[in-house]
Structure 1
Amino acid sequence: MSSQVSHAAGSGAIYRVVSALMSYPQPELIAALPEIEQALQGEAALAEALPALQPLLHHLQSVPLLTLQENYVDTFDRSAALSLHLFEHIHGESRDRGQAMVDLLEEYRSQGLEPATSELPDYMPLFLEFLSLLSQDRAALLLGEAIHVLAAIGQRLQRRESPYAAPLLLLTRLTEVVPREQDDPPVRDMDEAMEVFGPGTDGVEPLLKPAPGGVQPLHFHPRQHARPAAPSTTQSAPGRPA
């Protein structure tokens, strides 16, 4: 792991940048791209990441917004193998996934944070923004748990020559954990999860807000036994176009 990239991970900067770049393209994100690129160029700890992220930055700056949005939906919302919902790759649509999302939501709350979006708790940009707010050791631990899925998605995107591959493969340089090969997730049915956690939303506004919390473990690996998912309510917001 590069010392400069490691330092950027310690500051949370890389997690924030990757979270923004992996979010659904909105006018606010496009407007912020010069600032993101300037930040990458201006901070030594981030400069090493710029060459890897440059193709995606150029893609987002040069392609019309409507086309970006259509491509994003085609890429991530219509392929289970590329889903940005992390637990879908581990649990499919089993009850284990519901309990894992409840545990993850409680982890957010244990840090005094509440999702400021009604996106599912395991939505990748939300999770990465959460890592950016943690101590270096805690963020590294959770990244090491999730890196197997993150790397698998990145490799699938790379095979499709997608510019979105680079940010996820960059994350593999932030951990000492060697990603394990992952099977493709089963065909999904998101209806039940949406009934429990609400519809999704995206953008460059913060995905987390202060909130009271309790402590629950995270489960990035399949559980032998899991309780049924408990209903949870989150702030409602409009979703991206399907």
Structure 2
Amino acid sequence: MSPLPSTLPALVRTRVRAAVRRPSQLTPEETAGRSLVLRLVSLLLQYPDAELTESRSDLSTVVRALPATPAAAHLTRFTDWFAAQDPEALERHYVEMFDLRRKSSLYLTYYLHGDTRRRGMALLTLNQRYKAGGWDTSRGELPDHLPVVLEFAALAGPGGGEAPLRQHRRGLELIQQALTDAASPYRHVLAALLTLLPPPTEADRAAVARLVAEGPPNEEVGLAPYGTYGDGEFAPPGTFAPPTAAPPTCVPPAPTNRREGPR
């Protein structure tokens, strides 16, 4: 018997990916359902403050009313746990999972660019995408915070609105893996989100494995306000690049060690 052609695995992956419903093929009802799931995931990934914990019963009701899908099953598992926990315990668990662990941080550009100047560029580009969609970006979180990205995806629609989620698929996979390793119920929320995206490729899996082993790129730079562009560094088209500061026209006198008393 002759061996299978070497191209068969690639063909299988292509067929599997082609079988996933593309956003352009969704009916209006399916699009609305998808938007609702994205908004629920966005809410459930936010800090469990008093307002959110007081809404747990309503959230559980909405989740249980979703059509029977893998995403709905994952969200039901999470909300069952979420509703049964003490509010203070929820706060502690959230901080431990998302604030104290780098591999499950909710800031997506970190996984792609690490602490480098390219991350600042990515944040500016994402902010520009929001503004181009007519979305108000004057909020406290950075534009790559996953709940913010999810809210934009829900409002802007499956095409361009979900593009940042597809771009950061590998980071989402890493967060899901880290939460699973920590046995956190939040793994179900990430799992629900991932059911909406195309299956990962072999390249995606290899990249996630490298992230687990090596971590994101590292470069000690500041990000405020999402980084700066200078000394020839690339900036996206249309991005404001502040001009280089002019040299001083005079040199101020050197300070003396003499201290003057009050007059």
TM-score, normalising length: structure 2: 0.66
Cα distance in 2 between the residues matched to 1:160 and 1:115: 33
Greater gyration radius: 2
Does the CA contact (< 8 Å) of 1:92 and 1:186 recur in 2?
A: yes
Report % sequence identity. 25
What is the match of residue 82 of structure 2? 60
What is the match of residue 146 of structure 2? 124
Does the CA contact (< 8 Å) of 1:15 and 1:132 recur in 2?
A: yes
> 5 Å matches for 1:17-96?
17-44=40-67, 48-96=70-118
Q: Tell me whether 154-163 or 55-64 shows the greater mean CA deviation.
A: 55-64
Unmatched runs of 5 consecutive residues or more in structure 2: 1-19, 227-232, 242-263
In structure 2, give the amino acid aligned to 1:164. Y
Aligned counterpart for 1:192 among listed residues 222, 227, 231: 222
In structure 1, give the amino acid aligned to 2:222. E
Offset of 1:177 from its aligned partner? 4.5
- Three-state SS of the structure 1 residue aligned to 2:136 is strand
Offset of 1:152 from its aligned partner? 1.7
Q: CA RMSD in A?
A: 3.1
Q: How many residues align?
A: 201
Cα distance in 1 between the residues matched to 2:166 and 2:195: 11
Aligned counterpart for 2:183 among listed residues 156, 161, 169: 161
Aligned counterpart for 1:15 among listed residues 22, 38, 52: 38
In structure 2, give the amino acid aligned to 1:192. G
Compared CA separation, residues 47 and 117, structure 1 to 2 (3 A): same
Offset of 1:18 from its aligned partner? 0.3
Does the CA contact (< 8 Å) of 2:108 and 2:146 recur in 1?
A: yes
In structure 1, give the amino acid aligned to 2:150. L
Cα distance in 2 between the residues matched to 1:163 and 1:97: 29
- Three-state SS of the structure 2 residue aligned to 1:161 is coil
Unmatched runs of 5 consecutive residues or more in structure 1: 198-224, 232-242
1:115 paired with 2:137, answer yes
Cα distance in 2 between the residues matched to 1:48 and 1:168: 12
What is the match of residue 251 of structure 2? none
- Three-state SS of the structure 1 residue aligned to 2:159 is helix
- Three-state SS of the structure 2 residue aligned to 1:132 is helix
In structure 1, give the amino acid aligned to 2:37. I
Q: Tell me whether 68-77 or 137-146 shows the greater mean CA deviation.
A: 137-146
